[in-house]
């Protein structure tokens, strides 16, 4: 590729969505074979059966009974399993459609390193997030408390320097700072933005609740911060009269990074939440980041160990049919083994539905009729994630390779280097590349992503990264692609403060809901919170039944 060629975002998207190429992607060097790779998960063809095929009817006599069925093994589902086990409750089962657990926190493993397929970092939680702090203490990631009772993280888990760099104007620059050469007026605007974020980080209502905190359910419901949800982040930016392209890009990058939305699509509430919630107090720096080669797959691995043998992979939950009027309230369930296609009928006393709302409307009988208008408010964005397996690294110029490597003139977020945290600066590595599809119609984005060929996807990724690494192509030996059609909830204006999220989090006929979409922001902290919350709801209801004189063998005495 001509190193002088600088494709625009429009050029790259046109290349991505053009007609599929006829041949496999070449590597540009006769001494190496053609590039290998494939699409990996998720199992969308099985998920589409929920939409396109008639639902099977549960058998009158179930083949299996279980105290609590957990649908989904993402962070929320696994957090619920952990909470049940902590309470001494072992009669539960987690069903997962995919071949691996973790949802968008899943990871992979090569002969060189582990690597993420989605979420890849976690800010150090504040002491107020006691449940998450407890998990990280259990993992021996948090190894103590300071004089203010704030967590102390073992150094090897804090993101290693250099943490990030930016490719801009044909060169790599240390730090993620598009304003390095800004005019005094542009720098003043950046200072004003930082002051505004700091103001909101210290804001509290009359009850002492912060405007922005994690989990967000503990934040303020005061009208003042909630009014921000009526605007886009772009409108909020423009109302302040700010003109700096670099500042606008930085805010847009933050929105795309956390939400898969542009500055002109993201709720201003969500845009400020991204920055302010990560500051412990006014005047404090943002919480440092923790990461692992596997990204948040390391947390999934630990939670799986806690769930032991209670996770059943490659199992599609086809039907959940509540029986609220029966003497013993329960749910009839039909599951399908995706390896054999065999259907089986079960019965569960309670269900924790740790999957998105758009799935619940297809699976939970009667749910669409009862809450379909609320489910319609939930929008999900699509992402393309690629893992590039490099036999050797490109020649670095200017700033050295960082953990997070961002391209200024690109629709992507750039890539993270899986081996960076291990201190491996030379030799083979894996780069994980992230591309949010930020179209105005998320359904069209999903269709285009679903129709995309691997060849076209691989060529797009390589062409994008060749802006910064013109010698990359012959160094890549494999490039695998994940198409996340419903990767994360989209916090568009009105969704955070609307009633749909609150109503969707309420139990319905023996089904308890636990997923990050209930928060409106797709963060691990929120998924973990909802998993814990739903498990506590179930334990409380089962305890009430036991205290009411019923002999419930599924609840410990």
Q: What is the pLDDT of residue 11?
A: 53
Local confidence band at 548 (pLDDT 50, 70, 90 cut-offs): low
| pLDDT tier, 557 (very low <50, low <70, confident <90, very high otherwise) | very low
Between 442 and 60, the higher pLDDT residue = 442
94-115: burial string, b at 16+ Cβ within 10 Å, e else: bbbbbebbbbbbbbbeeebbbb
What is the band of 50 on the pLDDT scale with cuts at 50, 70, 90? Answer: confident
- The residue-averaged pLDDT of 309-314 equals 96
Evaluate whether the domain defined by 184-287 bears CATH number 1.10.405.
yes
pLDDT at 483: 96
pLDDT digits (tens, 9 = 90+) for 106-134: 999 999 999 999 999 999 999 999 999 99
Is the pLDDT reported for residue 24 higher than 50? Answer: no
CB 244 within 8 A of CB 179: yes
pLDDT of 29 reads 46
Residue 140 binned pLDDT confidence (cut-offs 50, 70, 90): very high
What DSSP character marks residue 491?
Answer: -
Question: What pLDDT is recorded for position 14?
Answer: 56
Per DSSP bridges, beta strands 92-95 and 311-312 are parallel
pLDDT, tens digit, 9 for 90 and up, residues 230-253: 999 999 999 999 999 999 999 999
The tens digit of pLDDT for each residue in 279-297 reads 999 999 999 999 999 999 9
Q: Is the pLDDT of residue 452 over 90?
A: yes
Identify the band that residue 413 occupies on the pLDDT scale cut at 50, 70 and 90.
Answer: very high
9-34+380-489 and 67-105+296-378+493-547 share one CATH topology?
A: no
**Distance of alpha carbon 381 from alpha carbon 466, whole angstroms:** 26
Task: Give the 3-state secondary structure of residue 71.
Answer: strand
Distance from C-alpha of 227 to C-alpha of 217, rounded to nearest angstrom: 17
CA distance 440 to 376: 16
If you classify domain 67-105+296-378+493-547 with CATH, what class do you get?
Answer: alpha beta
The region of weakest confidence among 185-189, 496-500, 540-544 is: 540-544
Residue 12 — very low, low, confident or very high, per pLDDT cuts 50/70/90? low
Read off the pLDDT of residues 523-542 as tens digits, 9 standing for 90 and up: 999 999 999 999 999 999 88
Is the pLDDT assigned to residue 480 strictly greater than 70? yes
How far is Cα 290 from Cα 552, in angstroms, rounded to an integer? Answer: 42
Confidence of residue 374 (pLDDT cuts 50, 70, 90): very high
Instruction: State residue 302's pLDDT score.
Output: 98
pLDDT value, residue 32: 65
**Is residue 219 over pLDDT 80?**
yes
79: which residues sit within 8 A by CB, 6+ positions away?
Answer: 135, 303, 514, 527, 528, 530, 531, 532, 535
Structure tokens, 257? 């990074």
- Tell me how far apart the alpha carbons of residues 152 and 176 are, in angstroms, rounded to a whole number: 26
Higher pLDDT, 279 or 49: 279
Domain ranges of the chain: 9-34+380-489, 67-105+296-378+493-547, 122-157, 184-287
**Residue 348 token pair:** 């569960």
Architecture of domain 9-34+380-489: Alpha-Beta Complex (3.90)
Say which range, 9-23, 67-81, 478-492, has the weakest mean pLDDT: 9-23
């Amino acid at each position: 590729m001509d190193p002088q060629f600088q494709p625009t975002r429009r050029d790259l998207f046109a290349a991505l969505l053009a007609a599929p190429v006829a041949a496999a992607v070449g590597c540009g060097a006769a001494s190496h074979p053609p590039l290998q790779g494939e699409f990996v998960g998720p199992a969308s063809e099985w998920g589409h059966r929920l939409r396109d095929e008639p639902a099977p009817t549960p058998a009158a006599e179930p083949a299996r009974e279980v105290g609590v069925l957990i649908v989904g093994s993402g962070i929320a589902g696994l957090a619920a399993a952990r909470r049940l086990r902590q309470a001494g409750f072992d009669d539960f089962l987690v069903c997962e459609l995919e071949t691996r657990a973790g949802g968008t926190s899943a990871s992979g493993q090569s002969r060189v390193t582990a690597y993420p397929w989605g979420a890849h970092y976690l800010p150090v939680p504040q002491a107020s997030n006691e449940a998450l702090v407890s998990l990280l203490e259990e993992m021996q990631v948090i190894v103590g408390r300071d004089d203010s009772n704030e967590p102390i993280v073992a150094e090897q888990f804090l993101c290693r320097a250099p943490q990030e760099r930016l490719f801009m104007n044909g060169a790599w620059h240390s730090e993620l700072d598009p304003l390095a050469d800004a005019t005094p007026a542009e720098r003043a605007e950046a200072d004003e933005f930082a002051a505004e974020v700091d103001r909101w980080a210290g804001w509290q209502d009359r009850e002492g609740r912060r405007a922005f905190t994690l989990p967000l359910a503990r934040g303020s419901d005061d009208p003042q911060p909630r009014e921000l949800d009526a605007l886009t982040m772009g409108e909020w930016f423009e109302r302040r009269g700010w003109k700096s392209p670099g500042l606008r890009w930085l805010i847009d990058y933050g929105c795309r990074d956390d939400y898969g939305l542009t500055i002109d699509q993201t709720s201003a509430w969500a845009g400020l939440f991204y920055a302010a919630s990560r500051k412990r107090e006014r005047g404090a720096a943002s919480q440092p980041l923790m990461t692992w080669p596997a990204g948040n797959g390391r947390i999934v691995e630990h939670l799986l160990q806690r769930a032991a043998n209670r996770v059943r992979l490659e199992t599609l939950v086809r039907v959940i049919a509540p029986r609220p009027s029966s003497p013993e309230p329960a749910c009839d369930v039909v599951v399908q083994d995706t390896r054999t296609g065999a259907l089986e009928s079960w019965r569960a006393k309670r269900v924790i539905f740790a999957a998105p709302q758009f799935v619940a409307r297809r699976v939970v009988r009667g749910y669409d009729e009862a809450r379909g208008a609320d489910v319609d408010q939930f929008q999900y964005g699509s992402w393309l994630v690629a893992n590039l397996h490099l036999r050797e690294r490109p020649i670095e110029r200017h700033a050295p390779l960082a953990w997070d490597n961002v391209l200024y003139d690109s629709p992507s977020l750039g890539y993270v280097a899986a081996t960076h945290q291990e201190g491996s600066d030379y030799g083979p590595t894996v780069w994980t590349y992230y591309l949010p599809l930020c179209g105005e119609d998320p359904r069209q984005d999903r269709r285009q992503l679903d129709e995309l060929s691997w060849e076209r996807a691989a060529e797009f990724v390589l062409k994008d990264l060749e802006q910064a690494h013109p010698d990359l192509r012959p160094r890549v030996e494999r490039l695998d692609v994940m198409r996340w059609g419903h990767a994360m909830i989209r916090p568009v204006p009105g969704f955070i403060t609307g009633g749909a999220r609150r109503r969707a989090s309420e139990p319905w006929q023996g089904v308890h809901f636990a997923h990050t979409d209930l928060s409106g922001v797709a963060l691990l902290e929120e998924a973990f919170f909802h998993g814990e919350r739903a498990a506590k709801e179930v334990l409380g209801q089962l305890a009430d039944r036991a205290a009411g004189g019923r002999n419930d063998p599924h609840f410990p005495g």
